[in-house]
């Protein structure tokens, strides 16, 4: 018989921390804390398995009601209270919790079990009617918003609350007297009745089951679905439901609530970090409703509870061997832990915590390397505000998530998403964010809120995304309806530029220059560990000496792709390229190519010098020639004038090069076969550059790559030209350099005939961008219109241009490697598509035995770490990746 309900509390629990798939992270950790003897309010957790059942069928097993009733009775006995009773009533919270932490993405209901009789009983029992009716009105509002679906524009509650505060001339909810709180309950219920004929349910059992089902439904809510898509959380995990007896931080001045981290989640510094509110419930801290105080203030207000909290956090961090994120409540001076989990943190904090925990003897170097998500390193490589730049500071808030971002101001999440889709850089400005803003937050470069603290929704979500974020900028007055915010009389309107400094909390007027970060200290130490464990080499895609130098600073071990065509798009060179294209005969083309030769040679000299001692793979000209020519009539006429030909003659050339499907047309090696003089010029530039820098003592390792080969005769044709030109250059220079000739495997036929191709090719580099296109029969330029719908509907697990399709494209890659090495045992194999910097794709490249991956310079550290984690996984080292994104 299946079991669905697991109890915890009072020193005994049915679960452990290892049961996250069943109990969710929250339920599993509550059970673990119970087993450790930490004070946790009694409760029970309903298995996450039932969420999927409910979502699929709209129902749940009949026996669940009996199990819940039995678990609830246990809680009643432990608390000495009765659920729904008019004397000593029991109130509970109903919370979500998946195996993977999704902060704020699903729903929670507090103070459940309230009705008129219960509120009156609590008021009498506590002698504090203000507390009783504050809890009651909170519950009615939360139940209406979450369970009855009135959240957002349909919610009638805030205007009623604001009217009461305005009438009393108070700012805080808790300053309203008991009679106003009681009156609000009636007004809330009346507003509910107008919107929903069924109104508010008075029966606590109906409330309980309504809340349980609402938590299940929230798994498929828009914000939860968007979060899972952004963070690649599996859809089938489901959420557990935790029902826990209420403890109250809003009893009065001897009570409070807080959120804390065992280390600073922004920097990783080893200090107790958090926020606390006296006479408040947890939602007041997390939602940013009131601006909290530092958790250290608690030591003065509640010294005994604070000492117990410090002892508890130290025990939990030592037990879990990771930074913990705690939620706690003090009720009449007594401490209760409501949650612990591995804390979300910035990339910088993730690295520092991992390194320092090794130094402290808590974890091994291998565990440290596994603990940091590769994507988290991306945050360390983001820009910062140029310290030399002149900055007009509009306001200063809390530095919630480091880095810097400049963008145009928008005030709505939907607008942020839409503007970003148009290619605009935006900063989302809100009074406070809510979970509904998730897609806009993901689209924005940075996030600014006027309210909230370091553990508010905006702060936690931004840190998880690696977004620059400033919260609690009190001087900022946001008027979303007018599309502006004001700071001391200065207005910033929708579309105006601002810059956020997430490391200092500054909000800066206008667009301020940003500078790139450098790697040192903890980062260098951490990356040395990663390099020690990985087998896979990491190269970079670089087309300029500047890119090559930067990538080398980031740890690149060579260049896996230099795109020679990018060199021709420079304004000073495009004219010679166009002259070559429109030439009517071989002599004309060679005359134009002679102008391009010194330019290419100079480029290669710079790149070879920057990569002294490391291999450099240079791809011969790849794109179709029409890409270098204008297509609008005005542009054609202007170019024709500079080239000394008629507009009609140039237009005829452009038209002759037009193709129905240029990505499958006259490009790659096909250009070199049709116009071998192009291949000759590029080979000459490569080898002349090589011998020139070699003469200066630079160690040069060129690798010439022929693109878009489908059949071995194509490769042989081009390789023969390259090798002939190399011999000619070496003879003239009286100097030789070692080199390789290879090809990109980017067509299915090339992968299927890789054994034949390996007879000529000395290396393979998988161009998985084109290989994905040609395997799926997709145009990556057009597929963006419908691929998101495929992913949302579950037709594809991910966009195959972002994450390598291992089941299809991956099979071709694996087969090509096996065939190629079957013919040439020392065949060097790498990947140079965008997948070369994507962690799961890097792991695949390790598994199939590639020699290296190649990616953009800023992805190099990410690929280095992903390669190390792949090697450790192969050795069976436990993966304890922390809550970083």
As annotated, the active-site residues are: 457, 832
- Inter-helix orientation angle 116-126/178-195, to 10°: 170
Distance between CA atoms of 310 and 312, rounded to whole angstroms? 5
Exposed / middle / buried, residue 734 (Cβ in 10 Å: 0-12, 13-18, 19+): exposed
Give the tokens for residue 428: 């989302």
Give the tokens for residue 243: 């029902």
CB 394 within 8 A of CB 477: no
Distance between CA atoms of 850 and 535, rounded to whole angstroms? 10
Sign of the C-alpha dihedral computed for residues 667, 672, 674 and 678 taken in this order: positive
Distance between CA atoms of 123 and 185, rounded to whole angstroms? 14
CB 582 within 8 A of CB 650: yes
* Residues β-bridged to residue 328: 258, 337
Give φ, ψ of 6 to 5 degrees. -130, 125
CB 241 within 8 A of CB 96: yes
Distance between CA atoms of 447 and 461, rounded to whole angstroms? 10
Contacts of 558 (CB under 8 A, 6+ apart): 537, 539, 540, 611, 614, 615, 616, 617, 701, 852
CB 278 within 8 A of CB 254: no
Cβ atoms within 10 A of the Cβ of 300, count? 8
Sign of the C-alpha dihedral computed for residues 705, 711, 712 and 717 taken in this order: negative
Question: Which residue, 160, 153, 152, 147, is CA-closest to 191?
Answer: 160
Give φ, ψ of 578 to 5 degrees. -65, -35
Distance between CA atoms of 404 and 410, rounded to whole angstroms? 17
Contacts of 404 (CB under 8 A, 6+ apart): 382, 383, 384, 385, 446, 468, 499, 500, 501, 502, 503, 514
CB 320 within 8 A of CB 79: no
Cβ atoms within 10 A of the Cβ of 594, count? 12
Question: Which residue, 306, 238, 268, is CA-closest to 50?
Answer: 238
Distance between CA atoms of 278 and 381, rounded to whole angstroms? 39
CB 853 within 8 A of CB 842: yes
Please report, for the chain, how many H helices and E strands are present, in that order.
Answer: 34, 33
* Residues β-bridged to residue 274: 260
Our CA angle for 721, 724, 725, nearest 5°, is 85
Question: Which residue, 747, 746, 748, 741, is CA-closest to 763?
Answer: 741
């Amino acid at each position: 018989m299946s079991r669905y309900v697991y109890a915890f509390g009072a020193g005994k629990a049915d679960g452990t921390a290892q049961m996250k798939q069943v109990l969710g992270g929250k339920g599993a950790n509550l059970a673990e804390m119970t087993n450790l003897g930490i004070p946790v309010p009694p409760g029970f957790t309903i298995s996450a398995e039932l969420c999927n059942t409910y979502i699929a069928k709209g129902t749940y097993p009949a026996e669940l009601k009996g199990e819940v009733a039995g678990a609830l009775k246990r809680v009643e006995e432990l608390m000495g209270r009765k659920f729904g009773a008019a004397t000593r009533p029991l109130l509970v919270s109903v919370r979500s919790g998946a195996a993977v932490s999704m902060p704020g993405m699903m729903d929670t209901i507090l103070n459940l079990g309230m009705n008129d009789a219960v509120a009156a009983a609590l008021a009498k029992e506590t002698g504090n009617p203000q507390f009783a009716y504050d809890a009651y009105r909170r519950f009615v509002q939360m139940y209406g918003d979450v369970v009855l679906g009135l959240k957002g524009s349909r919610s009638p509650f805030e205007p009623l609350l604001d009217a009461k505060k305005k009438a009393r001339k108070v700012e805080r909810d808790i300053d309203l007297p008991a009679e106003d709180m009681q009156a609000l309950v009636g007004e809330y219920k009346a507003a509910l009745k107008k919107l929903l004929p069924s109104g508010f349910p008075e029966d606590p059992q109906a409330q309980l089951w309504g809340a349980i089902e609402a938590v299940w439904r929230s798994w498929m809510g828009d914000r939860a679905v968007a979060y899972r898509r952004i963070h690649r959380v599996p859809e089938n995990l489901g959420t557990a439901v935790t029902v826990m007896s209420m403890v109250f931080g809003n009893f009065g001045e001897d009570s409070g609530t807080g959120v804390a981290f065992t280390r600073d989640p922004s920097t990783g510094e080893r200090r107790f970090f958090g926020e606390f509110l006296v006479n408040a419930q947890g939602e007041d801290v997390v939602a940013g409703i009131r601006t909290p105080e530092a958790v250290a203030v608690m030591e003065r207000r509640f010294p005994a509870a604070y000492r117990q909290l410090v002892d508890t956090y130290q025990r939990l961090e030592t037990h879990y061997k990771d930074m913990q994120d705690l939620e706690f409540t003090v009720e009449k001076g007594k401490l209760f832990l409501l949650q612990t989990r591995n804390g979300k943190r910035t990339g910088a904090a993730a690295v520092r915590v991992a390194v320092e925990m090794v130094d402290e003897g808590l974890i091994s170097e291998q565990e440290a390397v596994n603990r940091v998500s590769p994507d988290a390193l991306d945050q360390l490589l983001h820009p910062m505000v140029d310290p030399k730049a002149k900055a007009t500071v509009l306001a200063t808030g809390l530095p919630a998530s480091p880095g810097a971002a400049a963008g145009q101001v928008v005030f709505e999440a939907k607008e942020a998403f839409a503007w970003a889709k148009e290619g605009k850089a935006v900063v989302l400005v809100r009074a406070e964010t809510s979970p509904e803003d998730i897609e806009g937050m993901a689209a924005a470069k940075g996030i600014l809120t006027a309210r909230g603290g370091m553990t508010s929704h905006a702060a936690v979500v931004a840190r998880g995304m690696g977004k620059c974020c400033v919260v609690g900028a009190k001087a900022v007055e946001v008027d979303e309806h007018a599309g502006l915010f004001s700071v001391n009389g200065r207005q910033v309107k929708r579309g105006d530029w601002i810059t956020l400094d997430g490391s200092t909390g500054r909000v800066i007027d206008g667009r301020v220059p940003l500078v790139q970060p450098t790697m040192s200290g903890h980062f260098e130490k951490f990356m040395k560990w990663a390099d020690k464990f990985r087998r896979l080499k990491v190269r970079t895609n670089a087309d300029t000496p500047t890119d090559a130098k930067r990538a080398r600073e980031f740890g690149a071990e060579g260049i896996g792709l230099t795109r020679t065509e990018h060199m021709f798009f420079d304004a000073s060179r495009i004219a010679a390229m166009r002259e070559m294209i429109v030439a009517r005969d071989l002599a004309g083309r060679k005359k134009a190519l002679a102008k391009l030769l010194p330019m290419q040679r100079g480029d290669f000299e710079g790149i070879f010098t920057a990569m002294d001692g490391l291999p450099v793979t240079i791809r011969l000209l790849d794109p179709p020639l029409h890409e270098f020519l204008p297509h609008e009539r005005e542009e054609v006429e202007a170019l024709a004038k500079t080239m000394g030909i008629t507009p009609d003659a140039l237009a005829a050339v452009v038209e002759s090069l037009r193709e129905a499907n240029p990505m499958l047309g006259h490009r790659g090696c096909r250009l070199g076969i049709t116009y071998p003089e192009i291949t000759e010029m590029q080979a000459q530039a490569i080898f002349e550059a090589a011998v020139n820098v070699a003469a200066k003592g630079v160690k040069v390792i060129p690798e010439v790559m022929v693109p878009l080969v489908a059949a071995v005769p194509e490769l042989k044709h081009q390789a023969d030209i390259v090798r002939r030109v190399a011999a000619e250059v070496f003879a003239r220079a009286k100097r030789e350099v070692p080199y390789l000739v290879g090809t990109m495997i980017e067509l299915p036929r090339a992968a299927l005939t890789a054994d034949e191709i390996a007879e000529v090719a000395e290396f393979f580099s998988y161009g998985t961008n084109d290989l994905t296109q040609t395997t799926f029969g997709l145009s990556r330029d057009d597929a963006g219109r419908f691929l998101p719908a495929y992913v949302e509907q579950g037709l594809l697990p991910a966009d195959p241009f972002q994450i390598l399709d291992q089941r299809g494209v991956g099979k071709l890659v694996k087969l090509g490697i096996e065939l190629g090495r079957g013919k040439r045992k020392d065949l060097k194999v790498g990947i140079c598509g965008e997948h070369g910097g994507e962690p799961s794709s890097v792991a695949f490249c390790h598994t199939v035995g590639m020699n290296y991956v190649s990616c953009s310079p800023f992805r190099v550290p990410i690929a280095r770490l992903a390669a190390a984690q792949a090697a450790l996984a192969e050795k069976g080292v436990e993966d304890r990746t922390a809550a970083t994104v």
